């Protein structure tokens, strides 16, 4: 029986992954060992087949007993552990949510509704590292990969609106604490005067007692136009991933330029992004909608009207679902080759956990055929 080790299952991505694996019956037919970086010896989830106990996620020998390791622990952990594990002679499959290995030549970025052929070829070639893509990149490709594949994208800008949960469980919890902190003064001094309420809320946002240990600054009622570390040329690393990962996932040569500004907003879950696509030719909106709608079973083309947009194209509507709606589709006043679109997706599902879960399935089928 295939032995699968899970690391980082308690975090944001990991807990959504566990939930989805339970929903889809993915635990049947495998042996699952759970690891922890903070609670070795503690009790694992009910699926733990190794005496139900949590193992030390830094125990290379124990990790090396697994045929597959599924990590949602983060890039620092991957950097610390994956190299030494491979160095010890481990030949298993490493499936990861983190970015640490994504751009390595021996790693494939997995998003099977978009690049199933790349994944299958890699398995046949003996590739053993598979990582999920950056969440906004994966969600963008779930929405518009059909246009890339049809050769219709000359270049694209993506302006993102990224949820707090995209930065992990602790940040999401802190956002809620910040929300509570901001609304308390208004509750204590109720007023129908909007300016008065605005004044007390801003005061609370600037108060040194506002919880900011995790996020560093106020996010509730605000936004942060900087995600991840800086890169040469004025981009952030989150912005740099847009072009690098899109082209790697699709195997585009020469690469298609993709760039924009990535912004963290006070949304709980689901990333939104506004796209501006320079088309390679003037194609009708009807044809564009058809290409998008036919590209995979999860994308939903939302009519460009107020009622449909506000009902279907918001984080509140999409959260917890596998649907990837795309709407506001129209030609910009810049010219007939400039397409505008807005798309929203649950970054914990298609942006993180779902490609990993499906990769385990793909791998099991691949190994089943060969064993
Ligand atoms: P996370 O929520 O911070 O969890 C990572 C680890 O932090 C957990 O496995 C847990 O490790 C520890 N942890 C510390 N405090 C915790 C708390 N209060 N609740 C739960 N766990 C806590 O990170 P994540 O967002 O899942 O991201 C994991 C990786 O996936 C990262 O590399 C990230 O870049 C990538 N990713 C994330 C998203 C997203 O939307 N969040 C999307 C795509 C990719 P122990 O149990 O060992 O202590």
- Please tell me the residue having the least CA distance from ligand 1 atom 11: 8
Question: Distance between CA atoms of 191 and 193, rounded to whole angstroms?
Answer: 5
Predicted confidence at residue 152, as pLDDT, reads: 98
352 lines ligand 1 (CB under 6 A): yes
Rounded mean pLDDT of 47-71?
95
Atom of ligand 1 nearest to the CA of 74: 32
Ligand 1 mean position, distance from CA 33 (Å): 18
Cα 271 to chain centroid, rounded: 9
4 lines ligand 1 (CB under 6 A): no
Ligand 1 mean position, distance from CA 166 (Å): 9
169 lines ligand 1 (CB under 6 A): yes
Question: Distance between CA atoms of 97 and 226, rounded to whole angstroms?
Answer: 21
Question: Distance between CA atoms of 108 and 19, rounded to whole angstroms?
Answer: 25
Question: Distance between CA atoms of 328 and 346, rounded to whole angstroms?
Answer: 18
Whether the per-residue pLDDT at 59 is higher than 70: the answer is yes
102 lines ligand 1 (CB under 6 A): no
133 lines ligand 1 (CB under 6 A): no
369: pLDDT confidence band, cut at 50, 70 and 90?
Answer: low
Atom of ligand 1 nearest to the CA of 163: 40
Cα 42 to chain centroid, rounded: 29
| Total number of residues shown for the chain | 371
273: pLDDT confidence band, cut at 50, 70 and 90?
Answer: very high
Predicted confidence at residue 167, as pLDDT, reads: 95
- Please tell me the residue having the least CA distance from ligand 1 atom 39: 166
Handedness of CA 131, 135, 139, 145 (dihedral sign): negative
CB atoms within 10 A of CB 363: 20
* Residue 339, token pair as written in the block: 């397409």
- Average pLDDT, rounded, for the chain: 96
Rounded mean pLDDT of 203-216?
97
In angstroms, how far is the first alpha carbon of the chain from the final one?
Answer: 11
The helix (H) or strand (E) run that includes residue 296 is none
Ligand 1 mean position, distance from CA 9 (Å): 8
What percentage of residues in the chain have a pLDDT greater than 90?
Answer: 96
Predicted confidence at residue 33, as pLDDT, reads: 97
Rounded mean pLDDT of 314-329?
98
Ligand 1 mean position, distance from CA 11 (Å): 4
8 lines ligand 1 (CB under 6 A): yes
Would you say 360 and 95 are in contact if contact means Cβ atoms under 8 Å apart?
Answer: yes
Would you say 59 and 34 are in contact if contact means Cβ atoms under 8 Å apart?
Answer: no
Cβ neighbors of 159 (< 8 A, separation 6 or more) are 260, 261, 263, 273, 274, 275
Q: What is the largest CA-CA distance in the chain?
A: 71
371: pLDDT confidence band, cut at 50, 70 and 90?
Answer: very low
Rounded mean pLDDT of 316-326?
98
Residues that are catalytic = 135, 271
Question: Distance between CA atoms of 268 and 260, rounded to whole angstroms?
Answer: 22
């Amino acid at each position: 029986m295939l032995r699968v080790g899970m690391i980082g299952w308690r975090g944001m991505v990991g807990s959504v992954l566990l939930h989805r694996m339970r929903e889809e019956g993915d635990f049947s037919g495998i042996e699952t060992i759970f690891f922890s970086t903070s609670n070795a010896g503690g009790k694992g989830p009910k699926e733990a087949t190794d005496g139900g106990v949590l193992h030390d996620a830094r125990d290379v020998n124990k990790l090396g007993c697994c045929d597959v390791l599924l990590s949602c622990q983060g890039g620092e952990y991957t950097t610390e552990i994956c190299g030494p594990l491979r160095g010890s002679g481990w030949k298993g499959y490493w499936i990861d949510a983190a970015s640490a290995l994504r751009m390595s030549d021996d790693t494939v970025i997995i998003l099977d509704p978009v690049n199933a052929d790349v994944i299958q070829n890699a398995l046949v070639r003996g590739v053993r590292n598979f990582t999920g893509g950056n969440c906004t990149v994966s969600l963008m490709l779930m929405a518009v990969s059909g246009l890339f594949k049809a050769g219709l994208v000359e270049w694209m800008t993506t302006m993102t609106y990224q949820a707090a949960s995209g930065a992990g469980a602790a940040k999401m919890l802190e956002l809620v604490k910040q929300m509570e902190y901001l609304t308390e003064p208004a509750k204590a001094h109720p007023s129908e005067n909007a300016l008065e309420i605005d004044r007390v809320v801003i005061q609370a946002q600037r108060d040194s007692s506002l919880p900011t240990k995790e996020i560093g600054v106020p996010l509730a009622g605000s936004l942060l136009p900087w995600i991840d570390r800086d890169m040469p040329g004025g981009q952030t690393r989150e912005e740099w991933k847009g072009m690098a990962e899109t082209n790697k996932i699709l195997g585009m040569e020469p690469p298609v330029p993709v760039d924009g500004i990535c912004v963290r907003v006070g949304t709980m879950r689901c990333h939104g992004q506004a796209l501006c696509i320079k088309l390679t030719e003037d194609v009708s909106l009807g044809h564009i909608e058809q290409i998008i709608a036919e590209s995979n079973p999860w994308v939903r083309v939302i009519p460009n009207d107020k009622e449909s947009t506000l009902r279907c194209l918001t984080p509140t509507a999409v959260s917890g679902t596998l649907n990837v709606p795309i709407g506001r589709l129209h030609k910009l006043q810049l010219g007939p080759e400039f397409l505008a679109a807005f798309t929203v997706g649950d970054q914990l599902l298609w942006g993180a956990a779902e490609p990993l879960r499906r990769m385990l399935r793909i791998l099991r089928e691949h190994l089943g055929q060969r064993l």
